Structure 1
Amino acid sequence: MRFGTFIPQGWRLDLVDIEPADQWRVMATVAGRADEGPWESLWVYDHFHTVPVATEQATHEAWTLMAAFAASTRRIRLGQMCTCMAYRNPAYLAKVAATVDIISGGRTEMGIGAGWYEHEWKAYGYGFPPISERLGMLREGVDIMSQAWATGRASLDGKYYQVKDAIVQPTPLQANGVPLWIAGGGEKVTLKIAAQYAQYTNFTGTLEEFDHKSEVLRGHCEAIGRDFSTITRSSNFNTIVGATEADALERLAAVKERMLPHVGEERANDIERQYLDSPGFGAVEQVIERLAERERRGLGYAIHYFPEAAYDTTGIQLFEREVIGALA
């Protein structure tokens, strides 16, 4: 199994109590640790307002961070989970990603999806079109980016995007362009787009849901004559690991306490339940067993979000040593 890790950027209230002037230093330090460690990739979210509620707390912009990490790391691959297609013109986004790929020496990934966070869509003036339109924008945008990276030019007279001979030079350093991660488990459209364009998918759920969506993806691949095994399936995990389950619970309590003033008791309790239900929560032996079972069912890539990352890296070190050591 391959492993990626999220870098704290504020979206999930994971930089609270850290002064804005110090936040880049914290993010860069976490990224530097990952770069020197066993992780294959680092990831950020593409959002503007915090969750589970919009607050005045910092949320740093994803592609600005991509460029910064491209210049400040040396080995680790750089991704977003996931870029919202409608937040940037796709020809422009293709240009941005190509530039980041060159700065990084060919280490950029493109996680891309249709978007969902209605509050920030409307706040930033994007409206909030129905899911059918957002998925149509995703399909057309992926087409434009794929053209741009393959040929250095892109044209599309689409329903949502009109691009006429847009020049994207230089193209990415990676021979086949920036790898596409199509994020989301929508069975009729998203997974069909993934079958056509993606090198990676990203969807979560129970074991049964993972199996079902995998079979849906297989069916879409067979319908267009693509080898299903050429697509790596990935999932994201909310992760708090301890030497014992009691240790993990103690760590979770500290996370909840830090979030409480910003989200209120009801939301803090919801967050606590989400961690307790996550395959990434518990003693190292429990987490290893759950991830190993998903690997047996075809999960090839696990991306882990550690809410402690900006404050305490001992849990991450334990995960690196024990979990990655057992499964990588």
Structure 2
Amino acid sequence: MKYGFWAPVFGGWLRNVKDEQMPATFDYVKKVAQTAEQNGFSTTLIPELNLNDIKGIASPSLEAWSTAAALAAVTSKLEIMVAVRPVFHNPALTAKTAATIDRLSHGRFLLNVVSAWWKEEARQYGAEFTAHDERYDRTKEFVTIIKGLWRDTPFSFSGKYYHMKDTYLSPKPVQQPGIPLYAGGESEKGRQTIAESCDAYVMHGGSVDEIAGKISEMKERRRKLNQKPFSSFGMAAFVICRDTEAEAEAELARITDVREAAGYAGFKDFVTESQLERKIQLQDYSVSNRGLRPNFIGTAEQIADRILAYERIGIELLLLQFSPQLEEMQRFSEQVIPLVEKKRAENRVSPQA
């Protein structure tokens, strides 16, 4: 199991808690990343939103790509995964920027392809926000172009959304044939596009049975396409680790005390524009990315057992959120990670093939 974390570019993950003691500054993000890579974390995911979806649109947030480049320069081992939303980017410039950061980081760069869901953000930032399936059609062309530019010189393409002829990109990424592409999606169109175009599949939190079903279904899609298996399956989750179960449940109650807050501004767009498999409740939305559903809530012993359950069904990367980030990541690295390794050794747990 690899442990990743979400870079805290929004100043927290809780819509009901105004101040989580994790400011939306690069100094804080850098401290978290440098500490994490020394404490068992392999990967950071930097989400890309131009408005702050957690604390409200008037609150500060960091831009993803400049943050990724800066983190690459101040870390040495950490994989840096940045979200990219085609509606906000030119594919040739994206391919060029990504190749540069991959070289700056000596091959530690990853991309998380996201087809966007926030209509109001697109309006404010001048992006064309089309219907759901059209956004995935654009994504497919976008991915075809960046892969082609990383691979071929020169590269030409003509599609519905993008056109280019005899385009050169040099230098190429360190990683060949290209930078690994992660993506998550729940709609039929989204899952099929990811199966056709991307390298790894990441999911919002869900129960063990739900996640096992998604892994099985995506493996079958790849098989039908005669494509090589996904390189990895990942899952997002929020962690509440405490000395007792009662303490963890009290913290859960505190952070899901639903009330009016600026961070709920994007709720309607999220549930209407995303074509989610399951209806999301306002309480789920209190914590970013439905992170409560894997139930990584309780003592270190309970959380370790649940992590191993996900490992058995094929999850290889956990993308975790904590609040406050630095302190709770430290607790996780000291109490949970060693316990998972101990239990794995004792039980001879091995991931599903």
Q: TM-score range by the shorter chain?
A: 0.7 to 0.9
**Which amino acid is 1:72 matched to?**
V
Aligned-pair CA distance for 1:270: 5.2
Q: CA 1:267/1:75 → structure 2, altered by over 3 Å: closer, same or farther? A: same
- Determine the structure 1 residue equivalent to 2:238: 238
Aligned-pair CA distance for 1:201: 0.8
Q: Once the two structures are superposed, what CA deviation does each residue of 1:256-278 show, in whole Å capped at 9, x if it has no partner?
A: 79x987548x9789516966544
The reply to whether residue 296 of structure 1 matches residue 312 of structure 2 is: yes
**Which amino acid is 2:186 matched to?**
G
CA contact (8 A) 2:56 2:262 kept: no
Give percent identity, aligned residues only.
Answer: 24
CA distance in 2: counterparts of 1:133 and 1:283, whole angstroms: 44
Aligned-pair CA distance for 1:199: 2.4
**Which amino acid is 1:281 matched to?**
I
**Which amino acid is 1:241 matched to?**
C
CA contact (8 A) 1:4 1:39 kept: yes
CA contact (8 A) 1:255 1:307 kept: no
CA distance in 1: counterparts of 2:86 and 2:58, whole angstroms: 25
CA contact (8 A) 1:42 1:79 kept: yes
- Determine the structure 2 residue equivalent to 1:133: 134
1:321 pairs, out of 334, 340, 350, with 334
Q: Once the two structures are superposed, what CA deviation does each residue of 1:221-251 show, in whole Å capped at 9, x if it has no partner?
A: 11222243x4311111122222222333455
Superposed, 1:1-328 pairs within 5 Å as 1-10=1-10, 12=12, 23-52=25-54, 54-80=56-82, 82-186=83-187, 188-204=188-204, 205-228=206-229, 230-249=230-249, 251-252=251-252, 262-263=262-263, 271=286, 277-309=293-325, 313-327=326-340
CA distance in 2: counterparts of 1:220 and 1:318, whole angstroms: 39
CA distance in 1: counterparts of 2:50 and 2:35, whole angstroms: 25
Q: CA 1:223/1:157 → structure 2, altered by over 3 Å: closer, same or farther? A: same
CA contact (8 A) 2:21 2:324 kept: no
Q: CA 1:202/1:175 → structure 2, altered by over 3 Å: closer, same or farther? A: same
Residue range with higher mean Cα deviation, 112-121 or 212-221: 212-221
CA distance in 2: counterparts of 1:294 and 1:153, whole angstroms: 43
CA distance in 2: counterparts of 1:184 and 1:113, whole angstroms: 8
CA contact (8 A) 1:135 1:189 kept: yes
Aligned-pair CA distance for 1:168: 1.6
Gaps of 5+ in 2: 265-280, 342-353
Question: Helix, strand or coil for the counterpart of 1:96?
Answer: helix
**Which amino acid is 1:108 matched to?**
F
Q: Once the two structures are superposed, what CA deviation does each residue of 1:16-70 show, in whole Å capped at 9, x if it has no partner?
A: 6699998221111111111222111111111111225633111111001111001
CA distance in 1: counterparts of 2:287 and 2:184, whole angstroms: 25
Question: Helix, strand or coil for the counterpart of 1:214?
Answer: helix
Question: Helix, strand or coil for the counterpart of 1:109?
Answer: strand
Q: Once the two structures are superposed, what CA deviation does each residue of 1:161-181 show, in whole Å capped at 9, x if it has no partner?
A: 112222221111113221111
Aligned-pair CA distance for 1:140: 0.6
Question: Helix, strand or coil for the counterpart of 2:317?
Answer: strand
Higher RCO, 1 vs 2 (CA within 8 Å, ≥6 residues apart): 2
CA contact (8 A) 1:11 1:48 kept: no
Aligned-pair CA distance for 1:299: 1.1
Q: Give the TM-score of the pair, scaled to structure 2.
A: 0.80
Residue range with higher mean Cα deviation, 53-62 or 168-177: 53-62
Q: Once the two structures are superposed, what CA deviation does each residue of 1:145-201 show, in whole Å capped at 9, x if it has no partner?
A: 111112254321011111222222111111322111122233x33333333333211
CA distance in 2: counterparts of 1:72 and 1:294, whole angstroms: 32
**Which amino acid is 1:45 matched to?**
P
Q: CA 1:234/1:270 → structure 2, altered by over 3 Å: closer, same or farther? A: closer
CA contact (8 A) 2:22 2:324 kept: no
CA distance in 1: counterparts of 2:287 and 2:192, whole angstroms: 34
Gaps of 5+ in 1: none
CA contact (8 A) 2:113 2:183 kept: yes
Q: CA 1:17/1:211 → structure 2, altered by over 3 Å: closer, same or farther? A: closer
Matched length: 320
CA distance in 1: counterparts of 2:108 and 2:327, whole angstroms: 27
**Which amino acid is 1:242 matched to?**
R
CA distance in 1: counterparts of 2:73 and 2:18, whole angstroms: 26
Q: CA 1:122/1:307 → structure 2, altered by over 3 Å: closer, same or farther? A: farther
Q: Give the structure with the higher percent helix.
A: 1
